[in-house]
Structure 1
Amino acid sequence: MAATGRVARVLIDSALPQLDHLFDYRIPEELLGDAIPGVRVKVPLRSAGRIADGYLIDFPDAEYEGALSDVDAVVSPVPVLSPEVWALARRVADRSAGTANDVVRLAVPGRQVRVEKAWLAARAAEAAGGAPDPAPFAASPVRGYEPGRVESAVAGEQRIALQARPHLSELPDGTWVGEWAVTLASAAAGCWASGRSAIVVVPDYRDQDQLAAALAAIAPREAVVRADARQSNAERYRAFLDALASPRIVIGNRSAVYAPATELGLIAVWDDGDPLHAEPLSPYVHARDAALVRQELQGGALIFAGHSRSAEVQRLVEVGWLLDVAPERAISPKVLPTANQAANDAAARSARIPSTAWQTAKASLESGPVLVQVARPGYAPVLACANCGQAARCNRCEGPLGQTRSGATPSCGWCGALATDWHCDNCEHTRFRMVTVGAGRTAEELGRAFPGVRVVVADGEHPLQTIGASPALVVATRGAEPIAAGGYRAILLLDGERMLARETLRVAEDCMRWWSNAAALAAPGAPTVLVGVGGRLARDLATWRQVDFAHQELADRRALRFPPAVRLASLTGSAEVVDEAVAEVDPAILIDVLGPVPLADGAARTILRFDYAHGPEVASAVRAAIVRNATRRRRAPAGKGGFRPAPSLKVRFDDPELA
């Protein structure tokens, strides 16, 4: 609907926190026809006569009698910022003490004029009757669960935590994908068939390609649009406009949760515990949190699916916000935990794996590929002094030294300098020893232990998504495992103790997720050998009781008042600014204040812990401190008139680096 008045509220496209509110402008008579909520506009700023970009948000109900600046231009007639996405951006920004503009930049791609003109012309042709009627489509049922259970959850706009079926599935064209992709594709296709949009958010391009392949076999091609960083600007904007115009199935990574969705019926998030779902840009909103807020604001069903379960989702299940949905018949992988043991033969010793794992791999290689998961990429990613054992650091920049291949001169991982004249800072020794073994060195050792067998490396430097059914040893880092046709005939999970040695609260949860996702790639009945790990983690993985493991993890964190039992906010900046921001928060609503702790760059960090009920109060108080710090006048350095340093306060709620 066109504007009925002459006053519009406009969001100015600026990252400055002091401009994070709506401004009133007058709409000239000649722009009334194009001025609708959501369109891009240009408006004047009173400082220095500048023209700023912005979005027309809405029209106030009351008439304004005073003098207002005029909207300079309506850039495009397309309402790219829908009211639902604007409400979502405002809510998640307020929840995280951030600015709505930072969220809008994630939600709305840059304008591509040529693409937009072609899209508008196609829409005009459709309106004139040139578009054919869509072919009838009936979605296939979601298999493996109680008949109609997932479909009824989508139709009834329920919120569920879905336990994924841990095996592979072959599509009609011969492509192999995880069964989880078929499950989510079927749920999304059923939602689209009912005339509603679906958004499916996955961690990275590997998962997205599996989901796209499953949708290609289930849903019509025109129903699916992709939203990811691999697209060109033109492709991304075209997909955005298509999703804006009519119901679609939108698939993509974390920013897809902000995609426009006509008649939203479903939001599904796969593997929410993956750190790739955490947004690295301000206001650092996790895709899981954005999905929860959007479902609350806009309605529709909400699905969190995974082979394992994060403590955050488990908390939502236990408080009754999510319903737990398990497969109809539990068919779990065959996981065999083993203790570290000395190999009984030379081949096993050279491969640095125990005899049980070596024998399992040898027998399984007769029928197909075997997966070997390791902790680190490279050849020898970490070196140490051969005399005192201190970690080897670059004599130029103090970066870590590593070895890229056998016999190569170690080099710095930061500056790339070769350590040709290296000496230990502690004892002045000049020789190295390997501390960790990467994928390259493991492949070399396995090649000697299994002569005549093809060895394949899959990691960040050697990306590989699929592999055939012929015998091969596939050495992959966690998360980079390719999918084997028919599944792996055996899976060896190495470096378990090294993975568990990471200093983070989520180390056990992460290991459960890495190992569960790897075990789900096995062929039916194929063994998965977990090397060197015992205790509750190994037991729950072997019995495929990831939900029980998540429950115990959450109970332990509740006892210690750690996330997600409570919320955290980290404040980083100069000690003076951090102390002022902490003083803005009422101590009565905080559990405690940790810090300030000095950091390496001269800054300080303080952590606030508080209950979920007090989150809005903490965010509001911290945001007031951010605005005050940003607008504070500072003395300009000599020779730089009018210069103001950038704000020196960084605020991050639910900081994953602290957990």
Structure 2
Amino acid sequence: MSGLPVARILVDSPLPQLDQHFDYRVPEALDAAAAPGVRVRVPLRAGGRIATGWVIERVERSEFRGDLSDVVDVVSDVPVLAPDVWRLARAAADRAAGNASDILRLAIPSRYVRAEQAWRNAEADPGPLPAAAPAVEGYEPGRVERGIAAGERMVLAADARPVQLGSGTWVGAWARTVAQAAAHALAHDRSSIVAVPDYRDQEQLEAALAEVVDARRILRTDARQTGPARFRAFLEAMGDHARIVIGSRSTVYAPAARLGLIVVVDDGDGSHAEPLAPGVHSRDAALIRQEQSGAAMVFLGHSRSVEVQRLVGLGWVHEVPLRRGSRPRVVLTEQQAAPDSGGARIPSAAWREAQEAVSAGPVLVQVARPGHTPMLVCDRCREPARCAACGGALVVPRSGGPASCALCGTSAAGWRCPVCEATAMRAAVVGASRTAEELGRAFPRTRVVVSDGERPIQRVGPESGLVVATRGAEPVADGGYRAVLLLDGERMLLRESLRVAEDCLRWWSNAAALAAPGAPVFLVGVGGAVGVRSPPGGRRTGRLRNSRRVARCASSCGADGLGGVDPGAARGRARAHPGGAGRRRARTDPGGEGLDRAVVRFGYSVGAEVAQRLKAEAIRAATERRRPVGGRRAGRAVVRVRMDDPELP
């Protein structure tokens, strides 16, 4: 780096005003080590404060007229920030009105010296590339392979059945599809990045990949790994060898040589939504990276999110239909009028099928919630019954007795529905534990297994038994379930969310995909359009919230400064965008003393400008000192922005 004495550095800080490049002079002793991409320590402000940052580039001279401070030290001479990862982080942060350093904190693991030294001393031996590219089964012959070679954006409907690998392990057919696509890219010496919802999906995918590629070519990065193991995998991904990197949502930021394929599995799952600032969804980060790199993009799942369907409607993503595969046989049942007893909760037709199926193998029973205590709703209008004192849910205690509040314990005596004024309640959903007890009494000589968030079970054998699982915790059964009962559909649809129908379709479709080919799937208590659209693979979305982006803002300086939204718009009046490309709406709610909250709705075409204005307002609020009020010390206002919040009503 001789002759380039100035380093432009991004400081690792959550402050919005520091989300820019700062110029520092590179001492001669650090000239060789301070290369672009390495971590460094630099002075920040007065008082001897030292901050960590990344060298973005080296330049000949600085535009700053004063004296530059010196880089204090180089943390490591390993360039952990790859150029393509930096471009992705910068673009994703700008789209979300956030800081690039917040994304880099998720993308680059913490440094472990011993792991780094072991990586330096190890000989790189990733194993051979696949001799031949395996065919991606279930679709038009060669269609997916041609899309990968052309860098196409595709959405695939997953084959809804379990399959047995050569090792004897049973996995979802989706895992084999992803493994075949990634192996095809690897055979052409191209890397793949695969983001899945959680560790159970990772293990299925890892088992499927081991059948078609050398295990040394597979890198796993997830939160269940130890810190040194995760850092070591990150360092190995930085090499020149093509790899298949699998993991959770942050895997889309992994460095990968000659990236040829990006896969996001079940993008509608809440695990893909990043809770930390700036909250970039893995789907959005993957789309940005695909556009920057030219790699192929694949969305795969048993159901389709509204966002992906919007891209299909625009022609931005191409739909690849499933030509040869299995789809579950879904049977809709009538809603039960008295689900209090174990027998009445399950329709007679489903009950008979379960009795016959359990003798041949496992039967899956999906319920809405864990635990034992049933939740109550109004018997007339099905409004959830809540405590008049604190608003908590009214439940029936496990020991029996009258209903009471699950939070404060207040008795439900004298309860009256606030919607229809009825006084009678009924059980809307029974927890997994109580369901298992009821089924155990109904099937006295049958093994009953419970799988939920606290006691997750990943696999069950082909033996006869009943598996009671909460949504998302259903284990994979060897050979598939002989029958699937999807209970509590009515209660699932009562969840207060704009995405409730989409989420329910995904939960039901994922559970139905665990059934053996030809096995019946009973959807209890749901009918109408939602029930008819429940079979996976053919869902179409209507006029849902898919044509607007949403930003949630919280400000201590009032909503009149939020990205140019004036007080009139803050009171709910729409104002046309200056360029006529879209509209923005905002509404404010009191969130406490001196705090305003606003929801800004705007079109995709003006998303970049809105994000830029909101980011500018956050910087202005953070750098502008407020006047003392009521004898209090002067302080700074705070503006927090969350774009595309999936839980926003």
Q: Does residue 263 of structure 1 match 2:258?
A: yes
The answer to whether the Cα contact below 8 Å between 2:326 and 2:517 also exists between their aligned partners in 1 is: no
Secondary structure of the 1:532 match is: coil
The answer to whether the Cα contact below 8 Å between 1:223 and 1:249 also exists between their aligned partners in 2 is: yes
Which of 558, 562, 568 is the equivalent residue of 2:550?
Answer: 568
Query: TM-score normalized by structure 1?
Result: 0.88
Higher mean alpha-carbon deviation, 592-601 vs 142-151, is at 592-601
Query: Residues 176 and 279 (structure 1 numbering): CA distance in 2 closer, same or farther, change over 3 Å?
Result: same
Residue 382 of structure 1 deviates from its aligned partner by 3.4
Q: Does residue 519 of structure 1 match 2:512?
A: yes
Residue 350 of structure 1 deviates from its aligned partner by 3.0
CA distance, structure 1, for counterparts of residue 384 and residue 87 of structure 2: 53
Which of 166, 170, 173 is the equivalent residue of 1:172?
Answer: 166
Q: Does residue 196 of structure 1 match 2:190?
A: yes
Query: Residues 413 and 234 (structure 1 numbering): CA distance in 2 closer, same or farther, change over 3 Å?
Result: farther
Higher mean alpha-carbon deviation, 302-311 vs 647-656, is at 647-656
Q: Does residue 616 of structure 1 match 2:611?
A: no
Aligned partner of 1:108 in structure 2 is 108
User: Equivalent residues in 2 for 1:624-639 (5 A)?
Assistant: 624-634=616-626
Secondary structure of the 1:143 match is: coil
Secondary structure of the 2:534 match is: helix
Aligned partner of 1:289 in structure 2 is 284
The answer to whether the Cα contact below 8 Å between 1:342 and 1:355 also exists between their aligned partners in 2 is: no
Q: Does residue 140 of structure 1 match 2:140?
A: no
Query: Residues 209 and 8 (structure 1 numbering): CA distance in 2 closer, same or farther, change over 3 Å?
Result: same
CA RMSD of aligned residues (A): 3.1
Aligned partner of 2:501 in structure 1 is 508
User: Equivalent residues in 2 for 1:402-441 (5 A)?
Assistant: 405-406=398-399, 419=409, 422-424=410-412, 436-441=429-434
Aligned partner of 2:420 in structure 1 is none
Higher mean alpha-carbon deviation, 431-440 vs 473-482, is at 431-440
The answer to whether the Cα contact below 8 Å between 2:126 and 2:216 also exists between their aligned partners in 1 is: no
Aligned partner of 2:95 in structure 1 is 95
The answer to whether the Cα contact below 8 Å between 2:160 and 2:325 also exists between their aligned partners in 1 is: no
Aligned partner of 1:449 in structure 2 is 442
CA distance, structure 1, for counterparts of residue 38 and residue 186 of structure 2: 27
Query: Residues 381 and 597 (structure 1 numbering): CA distance in 2 closer, same or farther, change over 3 Å?
Result: farther
Query: Residues 653 and 133 (structure 1 numbering): CA distance in 2 closer, same or farther, change over 3 Å?
Result: closer
The answer to whether the Cα contact below 8 Å between 2:158 and 2:300 also exists between their aligned partners in 1 is: yes
Residue 3 of structure 1 deviates from its aligned partner by 5.1
Secondary structure of the 2:585 match is: strand
User: Equivalent residues in 2 for 1:489-504 (5 A)?
Assistant: 489-504=482-497
Q: Deviation per CA, 1:553-598, whole angstroms, max 9, x where unpaired?
A: 33x23xxxxx321111111234x43332153589432524241123
Query: Residues 111 and 445 (structure 1 numbering): CA distance in 2 closer, same or farther, change over 3 Å?
Result: same
Q: Does residue 535 of structure 1 match 2:528?
A: yes
CA distance, structure 2, for counterparts of residue 307 and residue 390 of structure 1: 30
Q: Does residue 57 of structure 1 match 2:56?
A: yes
Aligned partner of 1:244 in structure 2 is 238
Residue 453 of structure 1 deviates from its aligned partner by 1.2
Which amino acid in structure 2 is aligned with residue 179 of structure 1? Answer: A
The answer to whether the Cα contact below 8 Å between 2:484 and 2:520 also exists between their aligned partners in 1 is: yes
CA distance, structure 1, for counterparts of residue 506 and residue 546 of structure 2: 17
Query: Residues 144 and 3 (structure 1 numbering): CA distance in 2 closer, same or farther, change over 3 Å?
Result: farther
CA distance, structure 2, for counterparts of residue 231 and residue 609 of structure 1: 39
Greater share of helix residues, 1 or 2? 1
Aligned partner of 2:14 in structure 1 is 15
Which amino acid in structure 2 is aligned with residue 446 of structure 1? Answer: L
Residue 170 of structure 1 deviates from its aligned partner by 0.4
Secondary structure of the 2:496 match is: coil
Q: Deviation per CA, 1:255-283, whole angstroms, max 9, x where unpaired?
A: 11111111111110000111111111111
Q: Does residue 657 of structure 1 match 2:639?
A: no
The answer to whether the Cα contact below 8 Å between 2:37 and 2:79 also exists between their aligned partners in 1 is: yes
CA distance, structure 2, for counterparts of residue 133 and residue 296 of structure 1: 30
Aligned partner of 1:33 in structure 2 is 32
The answer to whether the Cα contact below 8 Å between 1:584 and 1:622 also exists between their aligned partners in 2 is: no
CA distance, structure 2, for counterparts of residue 163 and residue 527 of structure 1: 20
Runs (5+) with no aligned partner, structure 1: 558-562
The answer to whether the Cα contact below 8 Å between 2:5 and 2:60 also exists between their aligned partners in 1 is: no
Query: Residues 74 and 141 (structure 1 numbering): CA distance in 2 closer, same or farther, change over 3 Å?
Result: same
Seq. identity, %: 53
Query: Residues 21 and 403 (structure 1 numbering): CA distance in 2 closer, same or farther, change over 3 Å?
Result: farther
Aligned partner of 1:648 in structure 2 is 638
Secondary structure of the 2:171 match is: strand
CA distance, structure 2, for counterparts of residue 371 and residue 657 of structure 1: 29
Residue 633 of structure 1 deviates from its aligned partner by 1.6
Which of 457, 479, 496 is the equivalent residue of 1:464?
Answer: 457
Residue 341 of structure 1 deviates from its aligned partner by 4.6
Residue 185 of structure 1 deviates from its aligned partner by 1.0
Paired residues in the alignment total 627
Q: Does residue 310 of structure 1 match 2:305?
A: yes
Residue 74 of structure 1 deviates from its aligned partner by 1.2
CA distance, structure 2, for counterparts of residue 364 and residue 600 of structure 1: 56
Higher mean alpha-carbon deviation, 615-624 vs 64-73, is at 64-73
The answer to whether the Cα contact below 8 Å between 1:378 and 1:403 also exists between their aligned partners in 2 is: no
CA distance, structure 2, for counterparts of residue 536 and residue 433 of structure 1: 25
Which amino acid in structure 2 is aligned with residue 624 of structure 1? Answer: A
The answer to whether the Cα contact below 8 Å between 1:374 and 1:477 also exists between their aligned partners in 2 is: yes
Residue 151 of structure 1 deviates from its aligned partner by 1.6
Secondary structure of the 2:238 match is: helix
The answer to whether the Cα contact below 8 Å between 2:481 and 2:516 also exists between their aligned partners in 1 is: yes
The answer to whether the Cα contact below 8 Å between 1:351 and 1:445 also exists between their aligned partners in 2 is: no
Higher mean alpha-carbon deviation, 631-640 vs 525-534, is at 631-640
Q: Does residue 578 of structure 1 match 2:573?
A: no
The answer to whether the Cα contact below 8 Å between 2:342 and 2:439 also exists between their aligned partners in 1 is: no
Residue 411 of structure 1 deviates from its aligned partner by 9.8
Which of 458, 467, 470 is the equivalent residue of 1:474?
Answer: 467
Query: Residues 374 and 234 (structure 1 numbering): CA distance in 2 closer, same or farther, change over 3 Å?
Result: same
Secondary structure of the 1:453 match is: coil
Aligned partner of 2:419 in structure 1 is none
Which of 294, 297, 301 is the equivalent residue of 2:296?
Answer: 301
Higher mean alpha-carbon deviation, 501-510 vs 95-104, is at 501-510
Query: Residues 289 and 242 (structure 1 numbering): CA distance in 2 closer, same or farther, change over 3 Å?
Result: same
Query: Residues 413 and 137 (structure 1 numbering): CA distance in 2 closer, same or farther, change over 3 Å?
Result: farther
Q: Deviation per CA, 1:150-209, whole angstroms, max 9, x where unpaired?
A: 122111111101111111110111111000001001111221222121100011111111
Higher mean alpha-carbon deviation, 431-440 vs 209-218, is at 431-440
The answer to whether the Cα contact below 8 Å between 1:139 and 1:219 also exists between their aligned partners in 2 is: no
Residue 635 of structure 1 deviates from its aligned partner by 5.8
CA distance, structure 2, for counterparts of residue 390 and residue 528 of structure 1: 27
CA distance, structure 2, for counterparts of residue 631 and residue 436 of structure 1: 51
Query: Residues 101 and 177 (structure 1 numbering): CA distance in 2 closer, same or farther, change over 3 Å?
Result: same
Secondary structure of the 1:514 match is: helix
Aligned partner of 1:76 in structure 2 is 76
CA distance, structure 2, for counterparts of residue 439 and residue 132 of structure 1: 45
CA distance, structure 2, for counterparts of residue 653 and residue 29 of structure 1: 43
The answer to whether the Cα contact below 8 Å between 2:190 and 2:243 also exists between their aligned partners in 1 is: yes
The answer to whether the Cα contact below 8 Å between 1:577 and 1:629 also exists between their aligned partners in 2 is: no
Query: Residues 460 and 3 (structure 1 numbering): CA distance in 2 closer, same or farther, change over 3 Å?
Result: farther
The answer to whether the Cα contact below 8 Å between 1:348 and 1:358 also exists between their aligned partners in 2 is: no
Which amino acid in structure 1 is aligned with residue 466 of structure 2? Answer: L
Which amino acid in structure 1 is aligned with residue 25 of structure 2? Answer: R
Which amino acid in structure 2 is aligned with residue 577 of structure 1? Answer: G
Which amino acid in structure 2 is aligned with residue 597 of structure 1? Answer: D
Query: Residues 233 and 62 (structure 1 numbering): CA distance in 2 closer, same or farther, change over 3 Å?
Result: same
Query: Residues 102 and 349 (structure 1 numbering): CA distance in 2 closer, same or farther, change over 3 Å?
Result: closer
Which amino acid in structure 1 is aligned with residue 201 of structure 2? Answer: D
Residue 451 of structure 1 deviates from its aligned partner by 2.0
CA distance, structure 2, for counterparts of residue 207 and residue 355 of structure 1: 34
CA distance, structure 1, for counterparts of residue 317 and residue 589 of structure 2: 37
Residue 48 of structure 1 deviates from its aligned partner by 1.4
The answer to whether the Cα contact below 8 Å between 1:573 and 1:605 also exists between their aligned partners in 2 is: yes
The answer to whether the Cα contact below 8 Å between 1:497 and 1:532 also exists between their aligned partners in 2 is: yes
